[in-house]
Each structure stands twice: as C-alpha cells, then as structure tokens.
Amino acid sequence: MCPTIDASTVYLVDDDRSMRDAISSLVRSVGLNVETFASASEFLEHARSEACACLVLDVRMPRMSGFDLQHALSKNGVDIPIIFITGHGDIPMAVRAIKSGALEFLPKPFRAEELLEAINRALNIDQEAREYKAELDKILKKYEGLTDREKEVFPLIAQGLLNKQIAGYLGITEVTIKVHRHNITRKMGVRTLANLVRLYEKLKNAGLIEKKNGNLSG
C-alpha cells in the first residue's frame, strides 16, 4: 500500500524529449516523484518500485507504440493506471485506449490542470486497488488456515443453511457441524454470520475460491 500519494511515482514514456522535460517539471512542481523514459522498451526493462504509481504514455512512438506497451503490460499481469497522451489523436483511437483499460486519453496540447487531475485520480485508483488486494490477501491467508472439511462447510454456511441441513448434506452429525462453524468463525476472525458471509463473497467474487456446493436452501 502507499502511505501517501506524495510517496507515489509517475512514470512517463514519451520519445519527445521536450515533452518529457515539460511534463516531468510539471509533475515535480506538485511534489510527486517522476521517472522518464524515451521508449516503451526502456520502460519495460526498468525495475519499478513497489510504491503506488501511474503511467503517462505517448501513443505514437517508434518501434513499440503506447498501445503495444499497454498490451505487453496486460499480458505480463502488470496492473497500472494508464493515461494516454498524443498529438495525433482521434475519436477511434481514444475509444480503443479506453476500451483497452486506459484511465484517460489526452490529446496534445492539454492543459496542465487536466493532466494533474488525471494523475491524481490514477494514483488514488492504484492506492485503492493495492489496499483491496492487501485485504484480500489477509482474508485468503485466514481461509487457507481452514481444514478441508471446514472449507466444505464454509460455503454452505455462507448460503445461510442451518446446521441440520449441512449435516444432512455432508452425512455427518449436527454436533460436528456446530464445531466446524465455531472453528470457521474463529479462524476467519469474525463474530457474526453476516461478516462471515461478506468474507466468503469477497473471496468468491475475486475468483480466489470456487463455489463447490449447490444451493440447498430450496
């Protein structure tokens, strides 16, 4: 996670040196860190820090375009908010950029306020994404501490089934289910069924666990 936005880094990739100098000067003027690159390949070879970040990226560059870099990052599982800038933009290009996941598309020349606003929004988005991932990691670590049987019982509890229903489905005693329910609640660090269900839904919606049991409540 990022302690503050000020500790974040703005990566700038543009083959135009005068543009790199102008944007980097602007970004530094508001107290943000900035690292500049003359090409997409140079950026790919650079070891990036763990700080919150965003990428200000020119569309048209020799050899590897901004879209090519965006695709390469996505293919490698690198999730970073991207702000495209270009002196040759049109509506189809802007639509392509946004559909591919870019946060913003700014045609040159753009106002300084426009870029700074987009950067601030991008850094906030990255910070929120990192906080969400950190929360999921904590929940998943607790989930992995459950026994195999508890992992069977967990989704059934999350469906709101009674101990008797779960016991009948799994072919074990109701008393055993009560013990499993107690252990699951304790290990997941919650006290109420509502909070337990929320944790399960977060894991499931993030694709970190699969719903292996059908709905038995009907």
- Give the H/E segment covering residue 56: strand 53-58
CB 156 within 8 A of CB 162: no
- The confidence score (pLDDT) of residue 50 equals 83
pLDDT digits (tens, 9 = 90+) for 135-146: 999 999 999 999
Specify the pLDDT at position 217: 40
pLDDT at 159: 93
H/E element, 202: helix 193-205
The continuous run of DSSP H or E covering 116 comes out as helix 112-144
Fold of 145-205: Arc Repressor Mutant, subunit A (1.10.10)
CA 74 to chain centre: 12
pLDDT the model gives residue 91 = 80
Bond preceding residue 109 cis, omega within 30 of 0: yes
Sequence spans of domains, the chain: 5-134, 145-205
Count CB-CB contacts under 10 A for residue 99. 8
What is residue 213's predicted lDDT score, i.e. its pLDDT?
44
Per-residue pLDDT, 88: 78
Non-local (6+) Cβ contacts of 63 within 8 A are 39, 40, 41
Q: Which parts of the chain have pLDDT scores under 70?
A: 1-6, 89, 210-218
d(CA 202, CA 185): 16
Asked whether 155 and 211 are in contact (CB, 8 A), the reply is yes
Report the CATH superfamily, name and number, of domain 5-134.
Response regulator (3.40.50.2300)
State residue 2's pLDDT score: 56
